Amino acid sequence: MVLNDPIGAHGQEWWRHAVTYQIYPRSFADGDGDGVGDLAGITSRLPYLRDLGVDAVWISPFYTSPQKDHGYDVADYRDIDPLFGTLADADELLERAHEVGLKVIVDLVPNHTSDAHEWFQAALAAGPGSPERDRYLFRDSPAGAPGTPPNNWRSVFGGDAWTQVEDGQWYLHLFDASQPDLNWRNPEVGDMFVDVLRFWLDRGADGFRVDVAHGLFKEESLRDQVVAAGRQPSSDARDAADVPMVERTERDEPMWDQPEVHDVYRRWHEVLAKYDGDRMLVAEAWTQSPESMARYIREDEMSQAFNFAWLLASWSASEFTEVVTGTLAATEAVHGSPTWVLSNHDVDRHVTRYGGGPVGLARARAATLTMLALPGSAYLYQGEELGLEQVDVAPEHRSDPFWLRTGHVGRDGCRVPIPWSGEAPPFGFGPGDGQPWIPQPTAWAALTVEKQEADPDSTLAFYRAALAVRRTFAHTAGDAVEMLDLGPDVVAFRRGPLTVALNCGTEPVAVPDGDVLMASGPVGATLPADTAVWLG
Ligand code: GLC
């Protein structure tokens, strides 16, 4: 079996069928033993990722940062935070990754900087009306209402989206107060990011994951958000998750998804096109529908956009089927390439979302297998290949700004450092016995990479096998998907020679004809509940 063969040889861009593995650097592998993961740690584990069978890694931010949002608050886009290493470590990582056949996608954060960024510090010092303030969104209180924020927008992390500075002006931050939003109507901002793109492209980055890609432009008037009766103002598209998919209606979102944002991505497309090797852009855009998502991947814009629809759907054959058909229709309309993702560093891990314990794990494996059979590319989040669950992190160890601003549990529970080996924390996360920045559950002794490598029935063995089998059809099975009707509890489709079935019900169903290529659990004459199968 050839691992990581150059996909370009098939005459297609590498990212169209790639499986990309997301690394959250502070929680992946710790090279220096300070309890926080780093670039040297990632480099040391590249052989593990090659053997897993992924094509690319996406690395969450590693830039200089006060770490108020663990790196999504960037103080210098052209340097590495000392916590994670140096620019030389980044160069080394890129080189070694390429040597083992892995592409590297870096995370770009253009919606906001850190408040420690030199531009924001200059804006504070320069005062109202200055060119320095014009790089951000500073505004006064409404006339006659001193002490009142300029509009009713809420931060995604809770609380007002505005913070007042000493001279009485307010600045907008759709996230934490330490993450001031940039003013993308100021040309200096666009020019700066083109320089940043080139900086990382010149160093060998194969692509960029674009953070909050739908956020850069706000409606110019910065008017109030119109809020439906009975609802609270909110900037968080994920709030729609409590509304059944079929009932979701368009919300008023003057802070998101403005038409001007697409000019930015057209410009970036041209910058990337001047480089060799199919460099790519993938949007993190929490838009309201598959159609609005697809606008980001028109031919002269980004390569891909994360498709969060599946991750927002509950365990339901009808919802999953709607996600598959809706996604394929919307991406086809713009000749785009679909993406699939079940977990990332912002959401509860999918084993837990699907109920936790053995049932949650069976469902997570089944959903993963189904997703991996679809045309397009898939994104995996570190630790899902070990079947890790969301951890109930003790309050004193939580540091997510969402928790700090709202008192709601937040995202720390999907960011617990990876267990690599041994019988007790830190489970080989770093050298020595130093404990990681979030304590690992002792029960993870059974889930270490070391244990799972020795067990042919482990979730790690399942992921390796699924990715190896996927390689045999990913480039040849075509993009056409024909949905099959195997009853209301089953997601089923045919793609080229492949037939796929996922049983979301409680009773076994008949297995369609064909040889079993891969299954998420034991399969006999019938397909048990919470199980998926690939047939050839
Ligand atoms: C994105 C990131 C998230 C971060 C936020 C602000 O949603 O995925 O982790 O907190 O942007 O940058």
List the end-to-end C-alpha distance of the chain, in Å, as a whole number.
19
Q: Are 369 and 532 in contact (CB under 8 A)?
A: yes
Ligand 1 atom at minimal distance to the Cα of residue 411: 9
Q: Is the peptide bond before 142 cis (omega within 30 degrees of 0)?
A: no
Secondary structure (3-state) at 182: strand
Give the pLDDT score at 238. Answer: 52
Please say if the pLDDT value at position 426 is more than 90. yes
Q: Are 31 and 17 in contact (CB under 8 A)?
A: no
Element (H, E) at 94: helix 87-99
Give the pLDDT score at 246. Answer: 33
**pLDDT band at residue 11, thresholds of 50, 70 and 90?**
very low
Give the pLDDT score at 4. Answer: 36
Average pLDDT over residues 232-241: 60
**pLDDT band at residue 257, thresholds of 50, 70 and 90?**
very high
Ligand 1 atom at minimal distance to the Cα of residue 175: 6
**pLDDT band at residue 404, thresholds of 50, 70 and 90?**
very high
Please say if the pLDDT value at position 233 is more than 90. no
Cα distance between residue 64 and residue 359, in whole Å: 41
For 98-114, how does the pLDDT look when each residue is reduced to its tens digit (9 = 90+)?
A: 999 999 999 999 999 99
> Beta-carbon neighbour count of residue 82 at 10 Å?
9
Please say if the pLDDT value at position 241 is more than 70. no
**pLDDT band at residue 229, thresholds of 50, 70 and 90?**
confident
**Secondary structure E strands in 158-253:** 162-164, 170-172, 207-210
For 439-477, how does the pLDDT look when each residue is reduced to its tens digit (9 = 90+)?
A: 999 999 999 999 999 999 999 999 999 999 999 999 999
For 322-362, how does the pLDDT look when each residue is reduced to its tens digit (9 = 90+)?
A: 999 999 999 999 989 999 999 999 999 999 999 999 999 99
State the distance from the centre of ligand 1 to the C-alpha of 212, rounded, in angstroms.
Answer: 7
Element (H, E) at 96: helix 87-99
For 362-395, how does the pLDDT look when each residue is reduced to its tens digit (9 = 90+)?
A: 999 999 999 999 999 999 999 999 999 999 999 9
Between strands 170-172 and 138-139, the pairing is antiparallel
Please say if the pLDDT value at position 7 is more than 50. no
State the distance from the centre of ligand 1 to the C-alpha of 488, rounded, in angstroms.
Answer: 36
Cα distance between residue 65 and residue 112, in whole Å: 12
**pLDDT band at residue 228, thresholds of 50, 70 and 90?**
confident
Q: Are 373 and 498 in contact (CB under 8 A)?
A: yes
496 Rama sector, left if φ>0, alpha if ψ -120 to 50, beta otherwise: left
For 162-179, how does the pLDDT look when each residue is reduced to its tens digit (9 = 90+)?
A: 999 999 999 999 999 999
- Best residue among 69, 107, 208 to mutate for probing ligand 1's pocket (most ligand atoms within 8 Å of CB) is 69
State the distance from the centre of ligand 1 to the C-alpha of 316, rounded, in angstroms.
Answer: 27
- Best residue among 70, 72, 179 to mutate for probing ligand 1's pocket (most ligand atoms within 8 Å of CB) is 72
Nearest to 177 by CA among 69, 336, 333, 268: 69
Give the pLDDT score at 236. Answer: 66
For 264-321, how does the pLDDT look when each residue is reduced to its tens digit (9 = 90+)?
A: 999 999 999 999 999 999 999 998 888 899 999 999 999 999 999 999 999 999 999 9
Give the pLDDT score at 227. Answer: 85
What values do phi and psi take at 160, rounded to 5? Answer: -60, 150
**Residue of minimum CA distance from atom 6 in ligand 1:** 72
Catalytic residues: 211, 284
**pLDDT band at residue 239, thresholds of 50, 70 and 90?**
low
Which sign does the torsion angle of CA 259, 264, 265, 270 carry? positive
Cα distance between residue 369 and residue 349, in whole Å: 16
State the distance from the centre of ligand 1 to the C-alpha of 263, rounded, in angstroms.
Answer: 22
Burial call 430-439: b when 16+ CB within 10 Å, e when fewer: beeeeebbbe
Cα distance between residue 513 and residue 509, in whole Å: 13
Q: Are 134 and 127 in contact (CB under 8 A)?
A: no
For 137-151, how does the pLDDT look when each residue is reduced to its tens digit (9 = 90+)?
A: 999 999 999 999 999
Average pLDDT over residues 73-85: 98
Secondary structure (3-state) at 84: coil
Please say if the pLDDT value at position 235 is more than 90. no
Average pLDDT over residues 402-430: 96
Q: Which residues contact ligand 1 via a Cβ below 6 A?
A: 69, 72, 109, 175, 211-212, 284, 345-346
Share of the chain above pLDDT 70, in %: 95
The 8-class DSSP code of residue 374 comes to S
